[in-house]
């Protein structure tokens, strides 16, 4: 994983920009790739206290702060209404709900990954990025720029009547897309974007260029970029997706003090800057938090951070400073109630994945009212079961959502409850 020598929660963008001018420094967005790389970071710069996690709607545009979680954009009523559900379609296939609650739009766009869903979708719209030093730059231009030490602050999407749609194709539901396409029309002008390439997403100004883009020599492009953008899933040369598990020798690591609440109990500690929340919780005895994949895919490490599900394997413990964390131990009564529904359906099996799964189910029950079968499956796509007990789990969920606390005892006795299958 990445090693971090110092961690700074900055108080201003000016402070962040100055710190980021050092080559060893790095802005930490959602932090979803911290366990997958092998880079040594001298100073991790955290923007989470700057209020950049909001979506503002004006008469002319939607303005999205760089620290806004992908899930907030996916569920934003105004954006989905204006773009006819495009936001939901863009984000719903990205790993799982917990991942999208943590990953940020700033990190997703700044890295310019070839597989980025939002990059391909936003290119099809009239989008500009607001840089701290560089000002407003069209996303089309930004994609072609070299990386620098500037900071992406906000994303602006114009409300000019452009109609748009986005579609991605994946081998499995939570995998990276193998093809991503955005299409939009403003008056008689069409715009087509193509992503999920060994290189960055590209724009065709008219539909006649689509075949030209798809026929481009991808191997030549990959050779030019060392495999893709800067970190590539198509080549083993990339330490991002084939990381070394051996930690580099560390010097000058600065311990930092944190204070957080875990299940309503306060904890104060000095930690190393690259301590992940999952490791911290397990060290404190919360063994329900487990590591199943170490790649942000399985959902076993799911906890609540200020009430939202997150993958604790990829959240720096330093980011939880001043916040409230809830583990399965903190919702024991609700968890036990749902676990009984699981047992009735024979869905508990080995039980290894159950803590993370139950945490996500309880969050879904609070967030979604009368969810459809498809909505349930999409919400829980980020929880993997190595026993493949999904059908039993879905039956248990339907029963749990259909049964009220008042008739729960009837359900335990096996009596029929109206409206419950």
At residue 414, the pLDDT reads 60
At residue 131, the pLDDT reads 97
Nearest one of 269, 268, 273 to 252, comparing CA atoms: 273
Q: Identify whether the C-beta of residue 363 lies closer than 8 Å to the C-beta of residue 311.
A: no
230/238 Cα distance (integer angstroms) = 8
Lowest mean pLDDT among 59-68, 209-218, 300-309, 354-363: 209-218
3-class DSSP string for 79-141: HHHHCCCHHHHHHCCCCCHHHHHHCEHHHHHHCCCCCCHHHHHHHCCCEEEEECCCEEEEHHH
At residue 220, the pLDDT reads 47
β strands within 242-314, DSSP E: 256-262, 265-271, 302-305, 308-311
- Local confidence band at 56 (pLDDT 50, 70, 90 cut-offs): very high
Segment 204-255, tens digit of pLDDT: 765 555 545 545 544 444 444 444 433 333 223 233 333 334 444 455 677 8
First to last CA, the chain: 45
| Domain locations in the chain as residue ranges | 1-50, 55-225, 256-328, 330-412
Select the CATH number that applies to the domain covering 256-328 from these four: 3.40.50.10490, 3.10.20.30, 3.30.60.50, 3.20.20.70. Answer: 3.10.20.30
Question: Is the model's pLDDT at 161 over the cut of 90?
Answer: yes
Lowest mean pLDDT among 138-142, 217-221, 322-326: 217-221
Segment 103-133, tens digit of pLDDT: 999 999 999 988 899 999 999 999 999 999 9
Torsion sign, CA atoms 85, 91, 95, 99: negative
Over range 318-324, report the average pLDDT: 96
Q: Which two tokens stand for residue 244?
A: 């070394």
At residue 159, the pLDDT reads 97
CA distances from 287 to 183, 297, 332 (A): 47, 19, 13
Question: Is the model's pLDDT at 3 over the cut of 50?
Answer: yes
Nearest one of 278, 412, 269, 420 to 356, comparing CA atoms: 278
At residue 205, the pLDDT reads 60
CATH architecture for the domain at 55-225: 2-Layer Sandwich (3.30)
At residue 238, the pLDDT reads 33
- Local confidence band at 346 (pLDDT 50, 70, 90 cut-offs): confident
At residue 389, the pLDDT reads 64
Three-class SS state of 164: strand
Q: Identify whether the C-beta of residue 166 lies closer than 8 Å to the C-beta of residue 89.
A: yes
Segment 263-318, tens digit of pLDDT: 999 999 999 999 999 999 999 999 999 988 878 888 999 999 999 999 999 999 99
Over range 28-44, report the average pLDDT: 85
At residue 31, the pLDDT reads 86
At residue 219, the pLDDT reads 44
- Local confidence band at 411 (pLDDT 50, 70, 90 cut-offs): low
Segment 126-139, tens digit of pLDDT: 999 999 999 999 99
Lowest mean pLDDT among 118-127, 164-173, 315-324, 384-393: 384-393
At residue 398, the pLDDT reads 87
Lowest mean pLDDT among 73-77, 82-86, 129-133, 178-182: 178-182
Question: Is the model's pLDDT at 143 over the cut of 90?
Answer: yes
Helix H or strand E encompassing 70: helix 70-74
Residue showing tokens 């209020």: 51
Nearest one of 127, 254, 98 to 186, comparing CA atoms: 127
Higher pLDDT, 46 or 394: 46
- Local confidence band at 395 (pLDDT 50, 70, 90 cut-offs): confident
CATH code linked to domain 330-412 = 1.10.150.120
406/258 Cα distance (integer angstroms) = 42
Percent of the chain with pLDDT over 70: 84
Other Cβ atoms less than 10 A from the Cβ of 400: the count is 22
Over range 81-88, report the average pLDDT: 96
On the question of a common fold for 55-225 and 256-328, the answer reads: no
Dihedral through CA 109, CA 326, CA 314, CA 170, nearest 10?
A: -60
Over range 393-413, report the average pLDDT: 69
Other Cβ atoms less than 10 A from the Cβ of 402: the count is 15
At residue 197, the pLDDT reads 67
CA distances from 299 to 280, 290, 340, 404 (A): 17, 9, 21, 27
Tell me the chain's radius of gyration from C-alpha atoms: 22
16/7 Cα distance (integer angstroms) = 12
Three-class SS state of 152: strand
Share the mean pLDDT of the chain: 84
- Tell the burial category of 87 from Cβ atoms under 10 Å away from its Cβ (0-12, 13-18, 19+): buried
Strands 324-326 and 256-262, sheet pairing: parallel
Name all contacts of 330-338 with Cβ < 8 Å and 24+ positions apart. 330/262, 330/263, 330/264, 330/304, 331/359, 331/362, 334/362, 335/359, 335/362, 337/400, 337/408, 338/362, 338/396, 338/400
């Amino acid at each position: 994983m990445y090693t971090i020598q110092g961690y700074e929660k900055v108080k201003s963008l000016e402070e962040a920009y100055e710190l980021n001018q050092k080559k060893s420094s790095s802005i930490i967005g959602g932090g979803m790739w911290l366990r997958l790389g092998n880079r040594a970071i001298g100073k991790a710069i955290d923007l989470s206290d700057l209020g950049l996690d909001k979506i503002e709607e004006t008469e002319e545009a939607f303005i999205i702060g760089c620290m806004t979680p992908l899930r907030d954009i996916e569920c934003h009523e105004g954006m989905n209404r204006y773009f006819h559900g495009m936001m939901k379609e863009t984000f719903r296939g990205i790993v799982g709900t917990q991942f999208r609650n943590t990953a940020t739009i700033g990190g997703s766009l700044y890295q310019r990954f070839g597989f980025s869903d939002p990059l391909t979708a936003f290119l099809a719209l009239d989008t500009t990025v607001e840089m701290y030093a560089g000002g407003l730059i069209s996303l089309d231009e930004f994609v072609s720029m070299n990386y620098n030490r500037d900071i992406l602050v906000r994303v602006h999407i114009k409300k000019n009547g452009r109609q748009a749609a986005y579609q991605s194709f994946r081998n499995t539901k939570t995998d990276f897309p193998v093809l991503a396409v955005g299409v939009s029309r403003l008056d008689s002008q069409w715009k087509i974007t193509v992503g999920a390439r060994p290189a960055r997403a590209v724009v065709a100004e008219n539909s006649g260029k689509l075949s030209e883009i798809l026929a481009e020599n991808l191997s030549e492009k990959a050779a030019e970029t060392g495999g893709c953008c800067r970190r590539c899933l198509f080549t083993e040369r990339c330490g991002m997706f084939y990381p070394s598990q051996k930690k580099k020798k560390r010097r000058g690591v600065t311990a930092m003090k944190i204070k957080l609440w875990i299940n309503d109990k306060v904890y104060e500690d000095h930690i190393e800057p690259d301590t992940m929340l999952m490791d911290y919780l397990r060290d404190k005895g919360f063994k329900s938090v487990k590591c199943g994949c170490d790649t942000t895919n399985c959902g076993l490490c799911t906890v609540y951070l200020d009430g939202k599900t997150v993958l604790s394997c990829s959240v720096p413990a330093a980011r939880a400073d001043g916040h409230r964390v809830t583990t399965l131990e903190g919702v024991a009564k609700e968890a036990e109630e749902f676990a009984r529904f699981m047992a009735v359906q024979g869905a508990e099996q080995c039980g290894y994945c159950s803590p993370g799964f139950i945490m996500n189910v309880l969050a879904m029950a609070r967030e979604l009212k009368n969810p459809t079968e498809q909505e349930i499956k999409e919400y829980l796509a980020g929880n993997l079961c190595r026993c493949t007990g999904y059908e039993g789990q879905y039956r248990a969920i339907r029963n749990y959502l259909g049964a009220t606390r008042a008739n729960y005892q009837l359900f335990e006795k096996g009596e029929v409850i109206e409206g419950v299958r």
